[in-house]
């Protein structure tokens, strides 16, 4: 049925108006409208500044200059600078605000919430790691996001997430699909999208929390906004840069995509002269399904950068052009690595001139004092805890998530030394709770290498930053093998799925079909000897709840339920801390060494 629009005509004296029909406000504009989007993504609880090296030529060729970078206090300073220049600013966080640093482990995300409240973001997209502590953990963090001194509360967005009845966020209305924000009378629609498969399979949302397909969901929400007369649409995604490029071409009426997840540095090629490697230009401009321009931007990671995207719209809301940069946040104190000496004022000026000449997006910026005060109590809590030394690494442990044709130069065999050590620690500690035969750990759950030397608490929580707990599974040998086959297949999509075990070893032939790749399985017996693995026997397996519920492609484990499963409230970082504590008590002068090659899970790896 066709809709007919009626106008109410008012027969008033000439000059007092003729009709109640009005052209929508946004279409009365006759001049372009410029909007600035200030944005970050994937800060992962990295609230403090960190040291890094940047290459500069001080007259004797490029050399490493030691300098501080990042930190939420510098983000706050840059955000303020951007707002002072332009009244039409929208501040966006594109997800993965939490997990990755002890600030999260110690405060359950409340430290991150406090600093985000201080910056007064307009909107924030849920990332996959927001679900690492299940829906209940996410609620703790979201409850910490308050309006405070901000004029408006932060809008939490994800159009494609639906919280099930078991979720702490069920029917809370905390997460919106979209929001409309006005700047100088112009309506801007913001739509949030969270990566679906990765969140469901590589994080820990509740089982009945559902993530819909990204593209169709985004289009449906954009269509609703357009029907309301909103003609400027920003899609804020947490799906990765490459997927952003693809999504843009499949959508109608999208104008801007502010992304996260892939930790992508965008910027000019000239950044390579200082040792940085941008993936593409900032912003990257592509065409949407209708052939209109879409501006795509991302701001690297860990509070290292703040994106400043300027978009100019025509009176009909289409993008005329866009520009800007991802400001890389650096300190003002610099030191020459080769001579271990601070730079002189003249040398600093020389660097500033080079940066200006090459149009490098490097910003030498002072941290915001107000943000430093917000951080201070959290920093004190962290320092008191992290400085405790819990063990010694007598040699460096390499990290390698998945075997390759040629292992890393400093790795002993196929796979990572530190992944193998974590699996070993899990098996040994699990034996305190039940008669564990073997352990299973995914490579992606182990995040850093361990350098030679003292290990403190901070190192352990950086190594194992997620909220995973110990689970006992009673499994047949057939089920164990099927699980390994699941994980090795899954590693073709997500390399972090690759399995590591203690007490069990095997060979892999990737030329075979799934189900036939894992060969020559052998179990370590009580006397320390390896013998053939009995597929018909039942084994007691130590693993983490993340895998036990089938995440990260460990599908077979979902069938291990009821009396065959027992959960322990023991965090996997605490498992490793207890492992180090036992070594310190029993062999105080020994420390830890890499395991013998014979104990590594993957003894042989044949590629396709």
In eight-state DSSP terms, residue 9 is B
What does the pLDDT read at residue 3? Answer: 34
Burial of 25 (0-12, 13-18, 19+ CB in 10 A): exposed
Class of domain 387-606: alpha beta
Q: How confident is the model at residue 28 (pLDDT cuts 50, 70, 90)?
A: low
Q: Looking at the predicted structure, is the pLDDT value of residue 310 above 90?
A: yes
pLDDT digits (tens, 9 = 90+) for 514-540: 999 999 999 999 999 999 999 999 999
Taking the C-alpha atoms of residue 522 and residue 210, their distance in angstroms, rounded to an integer, is 39
Q: What pLDDT, in 10s, does the model give residues 374-426?
A: 999 999 999 888 888 999 999 999 998 888 777 777 787 778 999 999 999 99
CA distances from 334 to 59, 64, 321, 342, 384 (A): 16, 10, 37, 6, 28
State the pLDDT confidence band at 1, using cuts at 50, 70 and 90. Answer: very low
Q: Is the pLDDT of residue 22 over 50?
A: no
pTM: 0.75
- Model confidence at 30: pLDDT above 80: no
Q: Which of 212, 282, 292, 289 is nearest to 247 (CA)?
A: 289
> pLDDT tens for residues 185-234?
999 999 999 999 989 887 889 999 999 999 999 999 999 999 999 999 99
- State the pLDDT at residue 465: 84
Nearest alpha carbon to residue 183 among 327, 319, 313: 313
| Candidate from 279-288, 401-410, 538-547, 568-577 with smallest mean pLDDT | 401-410
From the candidate CATH numbers 3.60.21.10, 3.90.1150.10, 3.40.50.970, 3.40.50.1970, the one assigned to the domain spanning 25-383: 3.60.21.10
pLDDT of residue 319 exceeding 90: yes
- Taking only the tens place, the pLDDT of each residue in 327-376 is 999 999 999 998 889 999 999 999 999 999 999 999 999 999 999 999 99
Q: Where along the chain do its domains lie?
A: 25-383, 387-606
Q: What is the pLDDT of residue 411?
A: 80
Average pLDDT score, the chain: 91
pLDDT above 80 (res 113): yes
371-383 b/e with 16+ CB inside 10 Å = b?
Answer: beebbeebeeebe
For residue 129, the model assigns a pLDDT of 93
**292-317: average pLDDT:** 97
Rounded CA separation 61/500 (Å): 45
> CA 246 to CA 250: how far, in whole Å?
7
In the chain, % of residues over pLDDT 70: 95
How much is the pLDDT for 568? 85
Which of 2-11, 54-63, 540-549, 566-575 comes out lowest in average pLDDT? Answer: 2-11
State the pLDDT confidence band at 588, using cuts at 50, 70 and 90.
Answer: confident
Q: 25-383 and 387-606 share one CATH topology?
A: no
Residues ≥6 apart with Cβ < 8 Å to 308: 36, 37, 38, 82, 324, 325, 326, 327
């Amino acid at each position: 049925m066709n809709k007919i629009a009626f106008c109410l005509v008012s027969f008033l004296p000439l000059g007092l108006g003729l009709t109640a029909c009005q052209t929508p406000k946004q279409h009365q504009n006759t001049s372009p409208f410029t909007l600035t989007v200030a944005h970050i993504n994937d800060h992962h609880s990295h609230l403090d500044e960190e040291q890094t090296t940047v290459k500069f030529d001080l007259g004797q060729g490029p050399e490493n200059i030691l300098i501080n970078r990042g930190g939420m206090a510098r983000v706050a300073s840059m955000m303020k600078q951007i707002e002072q220049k332009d009244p039409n600013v929208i501040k966006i966080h594109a997800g993965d605000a939490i997990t990755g640093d002890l600030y999260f482990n110690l405060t359950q995300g409340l430290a991150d919430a406090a600093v985000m409240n201080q910056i007064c973001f307009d909107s924030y997209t849920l990332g996959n790691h927001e679900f690492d502590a299940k829906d209940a953990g996410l609620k703790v963090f979201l409850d910490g996001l308050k309006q405070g001194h901000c004029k408006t509360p932060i809008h939490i967005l994800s159009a494609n997430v639906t919280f099930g009845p078991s979720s702490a966020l069920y029917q809370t209305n905390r997460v919106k699909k979209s929001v409309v924000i006005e700047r100088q009378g112009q309506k801007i629609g913001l739509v949030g999208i969270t990566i679906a498969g990765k969140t469901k399979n590589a994080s820990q949302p509740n089982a009945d929390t559902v993530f819909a397909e990204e593209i169709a969901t985004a289009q449906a929400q954009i269509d609703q906004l357009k029907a309301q007369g909103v003609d400027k649409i920003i899609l804020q995604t947490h799906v990765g840069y490459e997927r952003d490029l693809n999504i843009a071409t499949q959508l109608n009426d999208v104008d801007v995509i502010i992304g996260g997840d892939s930790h992508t540095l965008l910027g000019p090629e000239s950044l390579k002269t200082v040792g940085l490697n941008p993936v593409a230009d900032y912003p990257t401009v592509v065409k949407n399904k209708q052939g209109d321009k879409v501006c795509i931007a991302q701001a690297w990671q860990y509070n290292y950068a703040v994106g400043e995207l300027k978009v100019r719209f025509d009176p009909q809301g289409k993008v005329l052009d866009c520009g800007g940069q991802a400001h890389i946040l650096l300190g003002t104190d610099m030191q020459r690595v080769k001579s271990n000496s601070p730079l002189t004022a003249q040398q600093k000026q020389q660097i500033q001139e080079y940066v200006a000449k090459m149009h490098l997006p490097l910003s030498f910026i002072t941290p915001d004092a107000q943000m430093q005060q917000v951080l201070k109590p959290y920093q004190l809590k962290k320092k008191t805890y992290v400085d405790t030394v819990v063990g010694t690494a007598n040699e460096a442990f390499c990290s390698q998530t998945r075997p390759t044709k040629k292992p890393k130069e400093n790795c002993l065999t196929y796979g990572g030394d530190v992944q193998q050590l974590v699996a070993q620690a899990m098996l040994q500690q699990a034996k305190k709770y039940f008669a564990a035969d073997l352990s299973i750990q995914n490579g992606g759950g182990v995040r850093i290498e361990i350098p030679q030397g003292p290990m403190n608490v901070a190192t352990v929580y950086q190594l194992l930053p997620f909220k995973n707990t110990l689970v006992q599974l009673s499994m047949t040998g057939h089920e164990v093998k099927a699980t390994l086959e699941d994980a090795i297949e899954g590693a073709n999509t997500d390399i972090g799925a690759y399995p590591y075990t203690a007490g069990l070893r095997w060979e892999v032939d990737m030329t075979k079909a799934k189900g036939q790749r894992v060969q020559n399985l052998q179990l370590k017996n009580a006397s320390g000897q390896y013998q053939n693995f009995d597929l018909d026997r039942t084994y007691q397996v130590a693993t983490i709840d993340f895998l036990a519920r089938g995440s990260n492609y460990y599908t077979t484990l979902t069938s291990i339920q009821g009396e065959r499963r027992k959960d322990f409230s023991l965090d996997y970082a605490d498992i490793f801390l207890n492992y180090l504590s036992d070594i310190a008590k029993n062999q105080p002068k020994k420390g830890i060494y890499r395991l013998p090659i014979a104990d590594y899970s993957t003894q042989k790896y044949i590629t396709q």
